[in-house]
Amino acid sequence: MYRISQLSRQFGLSRSTLLYYDRIGLLSPSERSEAGYRHYSSADRGRLESICSLRRAGMDIEGIRAILATAGDDTTIVVRRRLDELNAEIEALRTKQHLLAGMLKVQGEGGPGSTVNKEMFVAMLRAAGMDDAAMKKLHVEFERREPEAHQAFLLSLGISEKEALLIRKWSAAMENSMTMHYFYELFETLPRQGPGCRDATLRALGLLTDLPADPVVLDIGCGSGMQTLVLAEELRTKIIAIDNHRPLLDSLNLSAKQAGHTIETRELSMVEMPFAEESFDLLWAEGSIFIIGLLRGLRDFARYLKPGGYLAFTELCWFVDDPPAEVKAFFATAYPDMKTIGEVRQLAADSGYRTIESFNLPDSAWWDEYYTPMLERMKIFKPHNAGIAEAEEVYARLEAEIDMFRRYSTCYGYTFFILKK
């Protein structure tokens, strides 16, 4: 269920607009709390999405009411779908128009100089009259069309890899560092920073049949390192583990010391790893390759592998060719570059790898050490951070993600891929 403040923020509407729609019977909440607060369902949200689409097309309230009354008619559905497509194209053109106008305005005031950083870029967008909602649309469109170029562009502005990841993950302008604070406040304390489990790591390791006796191993984007500890335990060799967030590496160092494993941690970005070519027998990237972009990761990581070396990684994939509209729309924003398992295997082949095997992680890999402890941590943090918009936004987005998995886990999930160079 959505609160009125959540819906108004998502659609860039004022609270009074939604109250007006309720008063005239165009959009009424499905439920009210005992205190009288409006609670909107997913169906209500979908109806509001249709209302906004029709309003952008210039239709008046009574016309919208008539259209919604025939929502089940096949012809109406086809026309509305095409209207949505046209609206999206118009929004994309308007975004480009605003961006170019902003750049021209700044150039007319002296020019942006030889480099453009984050602050200057935001200033250009502001000069073009773009508000936060318009900026969000820009990132959504950029991520949908060219995810790798989006990543490279964000990094070129001097944005940290961590912040770029959040912008890509949520396609929103994360200008407020407090949003980052509440995100990491929650994630740093989780057993894992993404779906995974010991059994899946062991199964993937078991497929590496011809590793040398003392393999050289790099764990890329290790997080708090639960999989790193398994690698060290099973391979009985030193593991180099990199991540760009120091608190997670500190946690891994403590765990490795307690377990007596040899793990060398380095605070590094996977974008520019300072290792010689063909240095490693095994590259491991559970839940992290998407940070750099799947295609770029496959290509960039290959040069660090010895001939015959292995790349093992997990990637969010569609399990079905035609997922339901609701979950498809959710990931059109959350992860636009999401592919089917077959598409990932084809990308791997095109990048010069041979796929040894791929398998899907069980639902328990999402719940046991990721979503369930996340929900428990949110119970602790939410009362403490009540009323703080940045914190509530983090919690609301994560709760929406969890609800999506709860209802559609048969349609998507993480797949483990084991490739050989």
How would DSSP label each residue in 307-319? Answer: EEEEEEEEEEEES
Residues 125 and 60 in one domain: no
Q: How many domains does the chain have?
A: 3
Residues 108 and 57 in one domain: no
Residues 104 and 54 in one domain: no
User: In this model, does residue 105 exceed pLDDT 70?
Assistant: no
Does any domain span residue 76? no
pLDDT in tens, 131-143: 666 666 676 667 6
The mean predicted confidence, pLDDT, of the chain is 83
d(CA 145, CA 231): 36
Residues 63 and 205 in one domain: no
Share of the chain above pLDDT 90, in %: 45
Question: Quick one: average pLDDT of 224-240?
Answer: 96
Its domain, for residue 8, covers 2-71
Q: Which residue has the tokens 């391979």?
A: 235
Residues 149 and 261 in one domain: no
Residues 303 and 251 in one domain: yes
The CATH number of residue 30's host domain is: 1.10.1660.10
Do β-strands 217-220 and 280-285 pair in parallel, antiparallel, or remain unpaired? parallel
**Most trustworthy range by pLDDT among 62-76, 152-166, 241-255:** 241-255
Q: CA nearest 166: which of 411, 393, 1? A: 393
Does any domain span residue 192? no
pLDDT in tens, 10-36: 887 878 788 888 888 899 999 888 777
Cα distances from 83 to residues 42, 51, 59, in angstroms, run 21, 12, 12
Cα distances from 302 to residues 33, 305, 326, 346, in angstroms, run 55, 5, 36, 16
Residues 413 and 338 in one domain: yes
The pLDDT value given to residue 111: 46
d(CA 383, CA 377): 11
d(CA 27, CA 19): 9
